[in-house]
Structure 1
C-alpha cells in the first residue's frame, strides 16, 4: 500500500524520502510464499523434495559425487570431486608425490581436458609467466587511484577495465577467448595482492609494496612473494597455498558463480564481462565469503571458551550458535555441512592433512586441536538440535580460513584467493559454453500479480 499523500513531505531530507520509497518497494513486492508451492517453483533452482539441483546443462569439466542409487534408493556416500573425470585426490597425491606444484597442471587439465606431458606443462608454465604482468600504468591508474574497501569489488572493476587494454576484446572465437582466459588466470592474483597493498596504504597508512612477480615461480609462490615485504616464504607455506588453489579451482557447473558465468556467456558477451559477473557472484557472503565467517566464528569462540579441550564447553558454545544466542545470531555453525556433499567434503579432508604440519610450523597446534574438536562435535550437536538423521561434516571452508590465517593472508584476501583459483574453472566453463553454442539461458518466471487499470494522474 502506498503512503498517504498527506504523509508525504517533499521537504524531508533525502535519506528520509529514500526510506519511504523503500517501504513502498517492500509493501508492493512481497509475494505470498504459498504460491511457490502452488506453482511448484524450484527456488534456488533446487528440488525441495530431493535436495538436488534442477538439471539446466551438461558439462565435462567438473563433477561432484555425493550419492549413489542402490536398489532404487538414493544413498549418501563419501564425497568425491572429479576434474575432467579424474579424482582430485589422485591428482593431489600425484603432484605431491613428485614434489611439484599442482595449480598450473590442474589449470591445464581444466582448460584442455587432458593431463599435460612434462614438456607441455613446462611450456604452459612459460605461457602463464609471460601473461603474469599488467598493462603499463594499470596499477597506477586503476588500482592505486581508485582503491576499494572490498577487494572483490576492486577485482571485478579491474577485470572490466582490462577490456580497454585489449585490442580485440569482443571477439568470441575460441583462440581469442583462450588468450584472454590465460591472461586473466595469470593476472588476477597480481591484481588481488596489489589491490590489497594499495588499500592498506591509502586507508590505514601502511607502507606500499608493489613487487614484481618472478617468472620462475609458481602461482602460489608468486602470491606469497608479492604479499610479503621481504618476499620470503617457506616451502611448506607455498605448497599448502598451492593445494588450496587446486582444491578451489573448480566445483561443477551448478555453483552460483560458475552458473552466472554460463548465463552471461550464453548471451554472447565478451570474456571480461562474463568473468566480472562471476566475480560479483562470488563476492556474496552466501557463496565466496564462508571461510571468513569460519575464521571470525573461531576468533569469537577462542575468546569465549576457557578450555579448548573441554567437550562440554564446546558443545554449549555450538548449541548457543544454533539457538542464535551468540556470535552473529545466524543460527549457523560455519564450515559444517554443504549444499551438495552429504557425508564428507573431499577438499576438506585433503586440506586438513596438511593443516597440522603448517600449524606445527607456526606454533598453533592448540588452535588446530580446537578445530578438530569442533569438527568432531558439531555433527552430533546439529543432529540433536534439528532431530535429523542426515550426517554433516566439515566443508573446505572449515580449514581454509585457518590456513590463510597461518599464511598471514589478511581477511580481505580470502575471497580473492578463492577467485584466483576459480578463475581456471570459470574460463574452462566459458569456453565450453561457447564451443557448444547453446541458446541464451532464459528460465521462466511466472507473474502472479493481479491485473490493474491505469488511473490518470489527476485522479490518483
Structure 2
C-alpha cells in the first residue's frame, strides 16, 4: 500500500523503500536512547537501584539530600561533604521577591505545576551565566534548584489562598522545612521522616518521559533551569506524574468495597485506564508502591486510619485476578496519594511534590549528559504525501 494512501498504516514503508528501513516503535518502547550509570530497574523482579544501592534501603536509611548527592555525584558523601551540602541547600532556600511578585500575578485557579514550570524557568533570568564546564557552576546550580523548587511550590500554595509566603527555616531539615512552609507549623518528626522517604523513592527512575525531556533539553547546552522547567512540563501530564491525583478520584468514584468488582469489570470492558496500575518497566508490583504502602500504614498507626486505604487494598486484591495475568500491578502512584492525603497536603500539590523529588534525578541526568554530550536528533519514518504538483489558489 503506498504511503500516500491516507489509510496506510502509520510507519509503513514507502513503495519501493529498502527492506532494511528502521522499524517504528511507538513511544520508543525498548529503544535505548542513552547510556547511564545512574539508575537500574529490574522490571521482572521488582528491583530498583540508585548507583547500585537498593532504593528501599536508601528510603529506610538515607535522607533525601544524601540520596540526591549520591545520584548527582555518583558516590555517597562523606560526613563532611554531606554537612557542607546540606548547609549550602539551607542557605539558598529563599527566592527573590521578584519571583514572589511574579507568582502573585498568576491566576489563583491555575494548576501548581504550571506555576512551578514558570517559576523554575524564571530562575534562569537571575542566574543566566552559563559555565557548563565549570564544576563550581554545576554545584551552584544543583544547590539552587534543590533548595528553591520546594520554596516555590509552598509559596504558590499560600499565594493562591491570598496569604504571604512563609520564609524557610534554616534550622529544619529538607523535608520538615517544606511541610513547615505549607502550614507554618513544625511537623511531627514521624511525618517529616515519612515525607523524606517519599522524596527518596520518587527521586529517580531511569529514562522516564520527564527525564528524557530533561536530557534532550540538556543536550542543547542550555541552562539547567530550562532543563528542569522542561522536565516539569512533561511530568505534569496525567500519563506521567499527574496520575497520583487521579487515583484518589478513582477511589472516591468507586465508593465502597462492594462496588470494586463491578466497577473494575466495567472499566476493563470499556478499555478505561485503571489509574495507579501498570508500568512500562514493571511486570510485578512496583517496588516503590510496596514502600509507599508500608509508609501509609505507619502514618495510619500514628495519626488515624483512612477508609480509602481499605478501598485501595480491595481494588488491588480484585485487580490481581483481572490484570495480574497481563503483568499489570499497582505502580508508584497508587499509594502515594494516600500518604500525601494523610499528611494534609492538597491534592493538586501531589505532582509538584513529585517534581521536588525528581529534580534530583533530572539534575543527575543533566550532569551525566554534559559529560559525554551529543545533541539528540532522532530520525523519523515519513508517512505523508508523495511529491505533488502545486495547485494555484483559483483552481482549488
Q: With structure 1 as the length reference, what TM-score do the two structures score?
A: 0.79
SS in structure 2 at match of 1:440: coil
Structure 1 Cα separation of the partners of residues 320 and 71 of structure 2: 33
Measured at CA, do residues 335 and 166 of structure 1 come closer, stay the same or move farther in structure 2, by a change above 3 Å?
Answer: same
Largest Rg, 1 or 2: 1
Closer/same/farther in 2, CA of residues 267 and 32 from structure 1, 3 Å limit: farther
2:370 corresponds to: 434
Equivalent residue, structure 1, for 2:47: 80
Instruction: State the partner residue of 1:138.
Output: 99
Contact kept, 8 Å, 2:59 with 2:198, in 1: the verdict is no
Match of 2:383 among 439, 448, 455: 448
Q: Does 1:348 align with 2:289?
A: yes
Q: Which runs of 5+ in 1 are unaligned?
A: 1-28, 47-52, 67-76, 96-101, 202-207, 325-329, 384-388
1:407 Cα deviation (Å)?
Answer: 1.0
For the aligned residues, what is the CA RMSD?
2.0
CA distance in 2, matches of 1:209, 1:376: 45
Q: Deviations over 1:88-146 (max 9, x none)?
A: 12222323xxxxxx101101101110011222212211011011111243212x21123
Aligned twin of 2:263? 317
Secondary structure, in 3 states, of the residue corresponding to 2:11? helix
Moved more, 118-127 or 360-369: 360-369
* One of 145, 154, 173 as aligned partner of 2:133: 173
Change (3 A) 1:342 1:289: same
1:363 aligns with 2:304: yes
Moved over 4 A (4+): 29-33
Deviation at 1:33, TM superposition (A): 6.2
Q: In the alignment, is the contact (CA less than 8 A) between 2:11 and 2:383 conserved in 1?
A: no
1:12 aligned partner? none
2:173 to 197, 212, 218: 218
Q: Is the 8 A contact 2:296 2:339 kept in 1?
A: yes
Using the TM superposition, give the Cα deviation of residue 446 of structure 1 relative to its aligned residue in structure 2, in angstroms: 2.2
Task: Find the counterpart in structure 2 of residue 392 from structure 1.
Answer: 328
Higher relative CO (Cα under 8 Å, sequence separation at least 6) belongs to 2
Task: Find the counterpart in structure 2 of residue 61 from structure 1.
Answer: 38
Q: 1:162 to 1:42 in 2, by over 3 A?
A: same
- Where do residues 367-386 of structure 1 align in structure 2 (5 Å cutoff)? 367-382=308-323
Structure 2 gaps of 5+ residues are: 14-20
Q: Which residue of 2 aligns with 1:11?
A: none
Note the C-alpha offset of 1:268. 1.7
**1:268 to 1:300, Cα distance in 2 relative to 1, 3 A:** same
Q: Is the 8 A contact 1:359 1:365 kept in 2?
A: yes
Q: Distance in 1 between matches of 2:204 and 2:279?
A: 16
Look up the SS of the partner of 2:49 in the other structure.
strand
Contact 1:62 1:81 in 2 (8 A): yes
CA distance in 1: counterparts of 2:7 and 2:95, whole angstroms: 50
